[in-house]
Amino acid sequence: MEPISLQTTIFLGIAGFVAGFVDSIAGGGGLIALPALLSTGIPPHLALGTNKMQGCFGTFTAAANYGRNNLFHFRDTIQGILYTAVGAGIGTMTIQHLSTDFLRYVIPILLLAVFLYMLFSPQIGEKETSPVLSPAVFYGTAGLILGFYDGFFGPGTGSFWMMGFILLLGINLKKATAHTKIMNFTSNIVALVFFTMENQVLFRIGLVMGIGQVIGAFAGSNLVVLKNSKLVRIFLLTVIAMTILRLLITTYLNV
């Protein structure tokens, strides 16, 4: 692989900033960061590994900022972190041996259902409601499934987490955003370990994008803290729509 130029490095740093900003509000930062990496000619396996590295910076920054503002308490998320880590580890190992073709066809349909539900339920997430599941059952189920999915495939993970927190645990949209970031960070860091073991990470690029992620995530998470849940809802609907579009294009047009 040829050396990456200074101009390309700056471009990727800016992409990291934008991805961190968007991801800290509604998830979907990978929709920006991964295509940016691939557009520079970086091989897919290196782009995936590097994307996980730079994503760790942003998700950690956002999670830490949300925690500092009391939108979640670490002790309440320990079960979720553990189950998500296990699921992500299994998913990342599995992707080395299995095809993601089935998920490419199924996930857009599931995301479309989430999008339509959010679109036609404007009050969802504005107030806290009674939980449908206990935290232990929710984290055990969602942690393993979504952790596996993020390690195995990835697009839409944040959207699924946020809907789970809102509909099954009954927390509001702001808190759901905060809880989602700690789970995203967990699956990202676990996947990064496995990609690193396979020498599939460009550390210099990951660090440059990571710096951009930190700045973007800090700005975005502060915006969520200061604004009401309508901002998160707008970003979330936009990110879900972009995810669906990207998956449909890559699945049916092979672009």
* 18 contacts 216 by C-beta, under 8 angstroms: yes
Q: With H, G, I as helix, E, B as strand and everything else as coil, classify residue 163.
A: helix
pLDDT for residue 68: 93
For the packed helices 173-197 and 6-26, what is the interaxial angle rounded to 10 degrees? 140
* 65 contacts 217 by C-beta, under 8 angstroms: yes
* 15 contacts 32 by C-beta, under 8 angstroms: yes
> What's the mean per-residue pLDDT of the chain?
88
**196 occurs within a structural domain:** yes
pLDDT for residue 127: 80
Report the number of distinct structural domains present in the chain.
1
Sign of CA dihedral 104, 108, 88, 50: positive
* 170 contacts 155 by C-beta, under 8 angstroms: no
**36 occurs within a structural domain:** yes
199 or 122, greater pLDDT: 199
Q: How many residues does the chain have?
A: 255
pLDDT for residue 103: 67
226's CB contacts (< 8 A; 6+ apart) are: none
**35 occurs within a structural domain:** yes
d(CA 3, CA 187): 30
**Which of 36-45, 63-72, 133-142 is predicted least confidently?**
36-45
Tokens of 26: 């509604």
**138 occurs within a structural domain:** yes
Nearest residue to 83 (alpha-carbon basis) of 23, 164, 28: 164
**83 occurs within a structural domain:** yes
When pLDDT is cut at 50, 70 and 90, the band that residue 2 belongs to is low
**1 occurs within a structural domain:** no
pLDDT for residue 161: 93
Query: What range does the domain containing 27 cover?
Result: 6-253
| Long-range residue pairs from 107-113, CB within 8 A, at least 24 positions apart, any chain | 107/153, 107/155, 107/156, 107/247, 108/244, 108/247, 108/248, 108/251, 110/156, 110/160, 111/156, 111/159, 111/240, 111/243, 111/244, 111/247, 112/244
When pLDDT is cut at 50, 70 and 90, the band that residue 248 belongs to is confident
**65 occurs within a structural domain:** yes
**147 occurs within a structural domain:** yes
